[in-house]
Structure 1
Amino acid sequence: MNGTLAVIGKLSSMVATTQAVRSRSHMSHTHRYFEMLGAAYDVPAESDRFDVFLDAAMAYFFEDHTAGQLAEDVPRHFGEDSLLEAHAERIRLLIEEASRLESAGADRFHAVLDVSARTGQVTGNAPAAQLTGQSFPCRLDDLPLNVEALAEIRRTARMVHVQDRVILAKVETDQVRACLALIQRPKDAPDLVQVSLSHVDWSPELMARLREAFGLTQSETQVLEGYLGQLSQKEIAQQRARSLETIKGQSKSILRKTGCARMSDVVQLCASIAFLMRQLPDGAPATSGETWATPVRGMYELARPGGRRLAWYQAGSGQRPVLFIHGYMQGPFFTPGFLSRLTRSDLYFVAPSRPGFGHSSPSRGRGDYVRTVVEDALALVDELGLEMVSLCVHHGGAPHGFRIARALGDRLAGMLVVGGTIPFDDVAHPAHMNPQTRFAAMATRHAPSVMRMALSVGLPVYRRRGTKAFLTTQFQRSPLDMETLEDPVLLKVQSEGLYHAVEQGTETWVRDGRSVMADWTDDLDGVSAPYTWLKAGDDTVVSTEHVEALLADRPNATLKVLPGHALNLLHTAARDVCAALEESV
């Protein structure tokens, strides 16, 4: 670890130097490279720094990443950047080590303060000195605790018989930290008040547990988080850009749902719950509690040459089969409502997992990924004895779908594209995309090693934060998609799709992303069978204008735009999708 710390120190120094010598508004490629690298090395020590790293990675590619303009000096690494690959692997190991230490309880230091009830003099152990920045002995008033916590300690000191109290306190040093304070009067030391402090990280995972426990809405949970940060109602209103009356109404709802009379009681109740949660055995995972495992319900396997296996799913219970090619992050999983409509239309999906996704074996190498996708699909069609094949392709699965359709030739009966991506144009398309998709597109296309680093750094972080945090980042520019995260059914399906995408690590993302970003215009031109293209009106990845331009001179293509839908078109527009499927089949 010492060698690693030296590397981190050197990188931080280099970053500081680059910042000091800036003489113009845009840094050179070299400077941006080291800023990105330095930010990446910060993540193992503090996972919240991942967002800073992502900003630095975007700045590496874009002069103005609000407009999506690619910087002129970005190098085009069509192969691999071996140096960056080595850094990515080192950072991955550092993150794994940090996670191991955290799950073992290494960061749960226990600070204990002993306060004389008679004189107010305070002594403490080494963790207490580290937490408070205070030398012992000292006076009670010298402790950097908030006024309410000090008052509670004094009140306990004046009482002889008092029950143990757990309160939320703040250690107000250079960095204000929320702590749980367990205040006790030990029976064998009548002159002593003992205060045990434990740092509270009001993480998204903990807030999700509190929300579930009390039955709060997302907005109420955000208001509660403000109170836990010891903000006033006015400050919460300003922070959330809401009226004071709105915050007061949500506060009353929180009181009603928690059964408390005052918000201070709610804060203490939350602190108590957090304290109890931190008493779980050290082996308990310090994560969101999610098990990132691809579902196997409805899954079958087909043996492939070379010991590979193809995993595929059957969804729906109709009589007419449709080959379904899933999106980039969205897997072959559907809501009960969609499956019901599918069956009502007398259809069922045959949905193969591409190489390396879910439980399908990876392709043998990076260079044969596209060929393996097509060969797997054709083998499955033959295995099931399908003479004529209808296709449904979804989002980032569109390039693969058209490659498969072209290979099927006269066996293709019809085709439906749901929110499909289009052949990518570096100049025309990035400005419309949301920042995360824009970054993924450019990194995959021009610097796959940067993409691999982003995944190596980011996925462990989001395994701890939870899929909802990941999807919130993805959908931040799409209000309609953000709404789907408040629907447990839609959130479950989207989470399963994410598990399916990362089941076997990050390499598949890079391989699949590169195949999507490759020029597949010839495959598009090679499909003569009729197809319908369903387009969401509020898609934040592909604009309606670009799809219209793509399909304008294709007489076999019919475009239908569905307003009021976004990236989750497949799940939110089940009726329209199934109606279009009936027509295609």
Structure 2
Amino acid sequence: MSNEEAGNHAAAIKAIYSYLKGNRAFGELILDLEAYLLTPRSDGPAIPASLDAHFEIAGDLAADIAPSPLSRYRPIIEGPGCRFAVDGDMKVVACSPAAMERLVRREAASRETAMDQPGTIALSRPLRAAIAEIHAAAQAGDPDRRRIVSDEQDGEQVFVSVRHDRDLGVVVLTYPDEGWRDGVYSLLQASLGLSPSECEVLGHMMAGLSNTEISRERGRSAETIKSQTQSIFRKLGVTSRVEAVRVVSDLASLTALSGDESPPAGKGAAAGHHYSFAARPDGWGEATIGGRRIGRIHHRAKLPAQGMARTVLMLHGLTQGPEITPFLADRLTRSGLDYLGLSKPGYGVTDPAGNEDYVERTIADCLAVMDHAGIDRVVVLAHMFGTLPGIELCIRHPDRVAGMLICSGYFPLQLNPDFTPRGAVQKLVTHTGIGSAAAHQFIARIGYAYLRYGGARAYLASLFERSPRDMSLLDDPVVGPIHFAGLRHMMQNGVAAFLADTGSGRHDWSNRLDLCTVPTVLLHGSDDPAVNPDMAKLAASRFPNGRFEAVPGRGQTVLHSEPDLMVRHLLDLAGVTSSMGRAAAC
């Protein structure tokens, strides 16, 4: 390495650490990286492979010196448990996402914004007494004291673990959480002989569904559900739904007494799973098909439409999961269309792709879920970075696809034959080799640390700032939480899914557009900060049966902010002829 390169190398390392200490903004860090990459060298832009070690260090360092002042509490409160950290003044200094969702009484547009000011909770008199006692014991030299306190939660008596954390000097309250129920289902399956199917029915009971609703949700006859319900009662030794729910709640409460993380769910626990990353748990579920666990969100049509396809299959982007707004879900289902959004490999609760090709695995999961649900044809909704797997699904299985709507799609920069890369990011996208791979990992790891440890709001604000109409949605009580949930959905299993997903689309795949013959519509915001609408318009011209529509004044929020426009195009692509469907969409 030359002296000049060594100096730039050191400057890049310094920028990483300076950023993580909270002294620099994310945009400034990228400018530093760009300056490093654009320094003239004989072999073109590259990052030395030795930076890999610093990527790892940066990720570890972020946990200790992250921008968020609450990051130091995360080791004791993060995860699926329902936990609060309380200091000696009875002030809640941090809480887990599950605790934020269930117990904190404050108006907040998202869990991330609320995490910066956790607020207060109504502590019962026994809990306050236990917290005071444990803090006093710690000051007297007994930091390991723990109490179990009976308290009320959602109208039920539960046990709460109250323990002291000697490193941080706070008391940790651990309440029973939905996550513990997953372990209880596994326990019941192993010890009392409940079948996986019965565990799913029991999970739906816990969610308050009637037998009729369970029958509709599982696609089984009412008699089958009734028979399974009676079998569950017999195996649990109870005579009613109320008693069955009480058994599971008591077991979940008892397993929370240790204050440790909730146990892993067994395969039979799908129905009761706690999707802590979600903005709204409605419709979320999962299926184990061929040994693979696949997460999905499913909104069923009120009355099936008549057309070439009755299901919208959604392939999500990098930082946006398959969740949609209640407004869009309502318009779709009232129009006669089912909505089925899958978590791609490694996202949410879906198993990772492992050593398989990422796009191949994504398509295989789509087909497996379609076959499992008895769905013959779909309209593909490809959102942002879900564009490539959506196109490949249409190319390889045109008989299963009625059409495709690409919303805020991503396309390779090489699509434009006159394109010349400008700036560091475009050079990274078009450059190959170890340098580009290292830079790709750098951006992924540093971005993950940035989002996880307090930068989610700043990141979304930087995306939205180009469009005034988008910016107003950041604090919207419906749209805002969905964007934050998309980030959590991506980070659920660390940085691996992001690396695998982006790695699958970093090459020039522009030649695939010419092979996609299904009817295709491209909707693209005129203020999209990632992909210029002119690039999307050029892409539309490459599809044999494609057309383009710009959405004025929008950036990357088209999916969530324009429900009527979305439904109109989806109905057209589905070939819906029902007057009911079209009227409901208006």
TM-score of the superposition, structure 2-length normalised? 0.57
- Structure 1 pair 59–104 and aligned structure 2 pair: CA distance change class (3 A): closer
Output the CA distance in 2 between the equivalents of 1:567 and 1:412: 25
Report the number of matched residues: 380
Does the CA-based 8 Å contact 1:47-1:461 persist in structure 2? Answer: no
- The residue that corresponds to 1:90 in the other structure is 57
Aligned-residue offset at 1:102: 7.1
Deviations 1:18-55 (A, max 9, x none): 9xx9xxxxxx5554333112221334544656554333
Deviations 1:526-557 (A, max 9, x none): 22121222122222222232223233354411
- Structure 1 pair 439–49 and aligned structure 2 pair: CA distance change class (3 A): farther
Mean Cα displacement is larger for which, 32-41 or 386-395?
Answer: 32-41
Find 1:321's aligned residue among 311, 319, 336. 311
- The residue that corresponds to 2:286 in the other structure is 301
Does the CA-based 8 Å contact 2:297-2:322 persist in structure 1? Answer: yes
- Check if 1:58 corresponds to 2:34: yes
Residue pairs, 1:79-158, within 5 angstroms: 83-98=50-65
- Structure 1 pair 444–397 and aligned structure 2 pair: CA distance change class (3 A): farther
Output the CA distance in 2 between the equivalents of 1:388 and 1:206: 42
Aligned-residue offset at 1:491: 0.9
Q: Residue 313 of structure 1 aligns to a residue in which SS? A: strand
Does the CA-based 8 Å contact 1:533-1:559 persist in structure 2? Answer: yes
Does the CA-based 8 Å contact 2:70-2:116 persist in structure 1? Answer: no
- Structure 1 pair 563–452 and aligned structure 2 pair: CA distance change class (3 A): same
Find 1:451's aligned residue among 422, 428, 440. 440
- The residue that corresponds to 1:332 in the other structure is 322
Residue pairs, 1:371-520, within 5 angstroms: 371-425=360-414, 441=429, 447-520=436-509
Instruction: Write the letter of the residue equivalent to 2:534.
Output: E
Does the CA-based 8 Å contact 2:345-2:361 persist in structure 1? Answer: yes
User: Structure 1: which 5+ runs fail to align?
Assistant: 1-13, 22-27, 64-69, 106-203, 213-279, 286-290
Mean Cα displacement is larger for which, 424-433 or 392-401?
Answer: 424-433
Does the CA-based 8 Å contact 1:565-1:573 persist in structure 2? Answer: no
Instruction: Write the letter of the residue equivalent to 2:446.
Output: V
- The residue that corresponds to 1:353 in the other structure is 343
Q: Residue 360 of structure 1 aligns to a residue in which SS? A: coil
- Check if 1:578 corresponds to 2:567: yes
Output the CA distance in 2 between the equivalents of 1:495 and 1:347: 26
- Check if 1:41 corresponds to 2:30: no
Deviations 1:158-183 (A, max 9, x none): xxxxxxxxxxxxxxxxxxxxxxxxxx
Deviations 1:293-331 (A, max 9, x none): 3465422323244x4311111135343211111122111
Task: Give the % identical residues.
Answer: 26
Q: RMSD of the TM alignment (CA)?
A: 4.0
User: Structure 2: which 5+ runs fail to align?
Assistant: 74-111, 121-167, 174-274, 305-309, 575-586
Output the CA distance in 1 between the equivalents of 2:508 and 2:43: 23
- The residue that corresponds to 2:553 in the other structure is 564
- Structure 1 pair 385–89 and aligned structure 2 pair: CA distance change class (3 A): same
Instruction: Write the letter of the residue equivalent to 1:336.
Output: P
Structure with greater Cα Rg: 1
Output the CA distance in 2 between the equivalents of 1:211 and 1:437: 39
- Structure 1 pair 39–429 and aligned structure 2 pair: CA distance change class (3 A): farther
- Structure 1 pair 104–459 and aligned structure 2 pair: CA distance change class (3 A): closer
Output the CA distance in 1 between the equivalents of 2:377 and 2:319: 28
- Structure 1 pair 382–76 and aligned structure 2 pair: CA distance change class (3 A): farther
Does the CA-based 8 Å contact 1:538-1:566 persist in structure 2? Answer: yes
- Structure 1 pair 59–553 and aligned structure 2 pair: CA distance change class (3 A): same
Does the CA-based 8 Å contact 1:393-1:416 persist in structure 2? Answer: yes
- Structure 1 pair 438–370 and aligned structure 2 pair: CA distance change class (3 A): same
Does the CA-based 8 Å contact 2:523-2:551 persist in structure 1? Answer: yes
Output the CA distance in 2 between the equivalents of 1:333 and 1:490: 10
Does the CA-based 8 Å contact 2:524-2:549 persist in structure 1? Answer: yes
- The residue that corresponds to 1:550 in the other structure is 539
Does the CA-based 8 Å contact 2:404-2:573 persist in structure 1? Answer: yes
Deviations 1:319-350 (A, max 9, x none): 32111111221111112222222122221211
Output the CA distance in 1 between the equivalents of 2:416 and 2:430: 11
Output the CA distance in 2 between the equivalents of 1:503 and 1:451: 20
Does the CA-based 8 Å contact 2:520-2:546 persist in structure 1? Answer: yes
Residue pairs, 1:205-244, within 5 angstroms: 209=117
Output the CA distance in 1 between the equivalents of 2:276 and 2:442: 20
Find 1:521's aligned residue among 499, 510, 518. 510
Output the CA distance in 2 between the equivalents of 1:535 and 1:571: 13
Residue pairs, 1:5-84, within 5 angstroms: 29-46=5-22, 48=24, 52-62=28-38, 73-75=43-45, 83-84=50-51
- Structure 1 pair 494–74 and aligned structure 2 pair: CA distance change class (3 A): farther
Mean Cα displacement is larger for which, 351-360 or 548-557?
Answer: 548-557
Q: Residue 512 of structure 2 aligns to a residue in which SS? A: helix
Output the CA distance in 1 between the equivalents of 2:9 and 2:511: 35
Q: Residue 555 of structure 2 aligns to a residue in which SS? A: coil
